[in-house]
Amino acid sequence: MFGNRIPKGTKFPDNIRLIFFNRFLTEITGKNCILLGDNTNECFINFSISGIIAGIIYSREVLQMKKMILGAVPLLAALCAFPLFAQQASRSTGIIIDHYATRAFVTGIIPRADLDTIVHAGIRTPSAGNRQPWYFTIVQDLNLAKKIVPQTEDGNVIIVISAAGDGKTNTREIIDCALATQSIYLAAQALGYGSRIYTGPIANVNTTLKNDLGFPAERNAVAAVWVGRVSADVVSGASPRKAADETVTFK
């Protein structure tokens, strides 16, 4: 069968189920070739009709190949999807691990939708017994914000996290508020803003600014987060941390 010309309009027997353009043979013979196969054997037929082979009729081998390919599709899809999941996962851990306390804020409004998202991260924080003891006060007024953090720039906000109790001995509320503080701090950085946690000014907030902030007498601030825009050439960056072998043990 090797070298036979196939006349135009040839009808193939029912048991021949493969016409397969064989690039390898084409390269060897310099002619367009097709590979015909039936249930028992395969033969090569010189195929010199100029132009492209009209179509592919599947053979048992091709069907088997097709099954293999179809079987491989989920695997290929999983392999293709893995980098996306990995990227997604590394994006999340990246924000948690690569954050830094911003030192160089610039002026610029933070849209309300972003403020809502940032504070929603605080609202979603886990708390002991799900008591959610916190209150979030977003200080947009520059004069008031500067009384808490004097370096505040126009458009920056100071988010004050407060809870019932004196802010010193109400341990459970303080821990919950601390977690909410961290969520807010990270959410701001996830949205591309700079953020920095503050406790230094809190004593002053509780002694002199509670009225300005609208706090009832029994409530006190626990922490504040400065959130604002950062310029491309920020001088900020995370400081070194202790090595894992200094702080981590496995028992």
Binding site for ligand FMN (CB under 6 A): 100-101, 196-200, 238-239
Q: How many CA atoms lie within 13 A of 219 on its CB side?
A: 19
Shortest spacing between CB 157 and ligand FMN, in angstroms: 16
The 8-class DSSP code of residue 217 comes to T
Shortest spacing between CB 197 and ligand FMN, in angstroms: 4
Among 31, 232, 194, 38, which Cα is nearest to 101's?
194
- Backbone CA torsion sign across 50, 51, 54, 60: positive
Residue placing its CB nearer to ligand FMN in the complex, 47 or 198: 198
Residue placing its CB nearer to ligand FMN in the complex, 26 or 170: 170
Let me know the angle formed at the C-alpha of 25 by 14 and 23, rounded to the nearest 5 degrees: 85
Residue placing its CB nearer to ligand FMN in the complex, 54 or 235: 235
Burial of 158 (0-12, 13-18, 19+ CB in 10 A): buried
Among 132, 234, 127, 149, which Cα is nearest to 196's?
149
Residue placing its CB nearer to ligand FMN in the complex, 57 or 234: 234
Distance CA 127, CA 23 (A): 66
Residue whose CB is nearest to ligand FMN in the complex, by number: 200
Shortest spacing between CB 101 and ligand FMN, in angstroms: 4
Shortest spacing between CB 193 and ligand FMN, in angstroms: 14
How many C-beta atoms surround the C-beta of residue 16 within 10 A?
15
Residue placing its CB nearer to ligand FMN in the complex, 126 or 200: 200
Distance CA 145, CA 156 (A): 8
Shortest spacing between CB 141 and ligand FMN, in angstroms: 20
Shortest spacing between CB 236 and ligand FMN, in angstroms: 7
Shortest spacing between CB 180 and ligand FMN, in angstroms: 12
The phi and psi torsions of 215 (rounded to 5 degrees) equal -80, 135
Residue placing its CB nearer to ligand FMN in the complex, 170 or 199: 199
The 8-class DSSP code of residue 146 comes to H
Residue placing its CB nearer to ligand FMN in the complex, 53 or 144: 144
